[in-house]
């Protein structure tokens, strides 16, 4: 039996997009892969990310924002950068690691938009990430 493939989803703050992506990919693939997320400048998990995933039955409330440095010595099969900044500052991974980039909009920072608008943007980004992963699985991107 082969070992499960490891996927690291990388963003800047590991607060919204990468956290939602981690929860979604684990859910969609029913934990077929070891999925992690991290940031180049980790901060906190945004409550809006927790809320919009809870709306579709995915609990990331126990997640924490992690630094990419925690994974530098891990054997990672795929690194998925979900923002342009993470793509530009992604640390070196061994040649066997496949780096994939797909940028998603950054939900507004606290105070940049009213609460209703912010949640709607989080939902849109969540749905875009889910659509991307469903297509990637169909296309066997991670196999």
Contact residues for 20 (Cβ-Cβ < 8 A; gap 6+): 49, 52, 53, 60, 122, 125, 126, 129
The one catalytic residue in 9, 11, 79, 121 is: 11
Alpha-carbon distance of 91 to 69, in angstroms, equals 9
The one catalytic residue in 83, 86, 125, 129 is: 83
**79 catalytic residue (yes or no):** no
**11 catalytic residue (yes or no):** yes
**83 catalytic residue (yes or no):** yes
Contact residues for 65 (Cβ-Cβ < 8 A; gap 6+): 13, 14, 15, 19, 39, 42, 43, 44, 45
Q: Three-state SS for 123?
A: helix
The one catalytic residue in 28, 90, 99, 113 is: 90
Q: Do the Cβ atoms of 63 and 84 come closer than 8 Å? A: no
Residues designated catalytic: 11, 83, 90
């Amino acid at each position: 039996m082969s070992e499960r493939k490891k996927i690291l989803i990388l963003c800047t703050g590991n607060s919204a997009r990468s956290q939602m992506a981690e929860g979604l990919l684990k859910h969609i693939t029913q934990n077929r892969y070891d999925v992690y997320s991290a940031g180049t400048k980790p901060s906190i998990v945004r409550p809006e990310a927790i809320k919009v995933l809870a709306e579709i039955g995915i609990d990331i409330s126990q997640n924490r924002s992690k630094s990419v440095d925690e994974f530098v010595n891990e054997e990672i099969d795929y690194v998925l950068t979900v923002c342009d900044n993470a793509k530009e500052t992604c640390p070196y991974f061994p040649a066997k690691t496949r780096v994939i980039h797909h940028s998603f909009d950054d939900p507004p920072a606290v105070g940049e938009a009213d609460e209703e608008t912010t949640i709607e943007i989080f939902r849109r980004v969540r749905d875009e990430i889910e659509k991307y992963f469903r297509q990637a699985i169909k296309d066997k991107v991670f196999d």
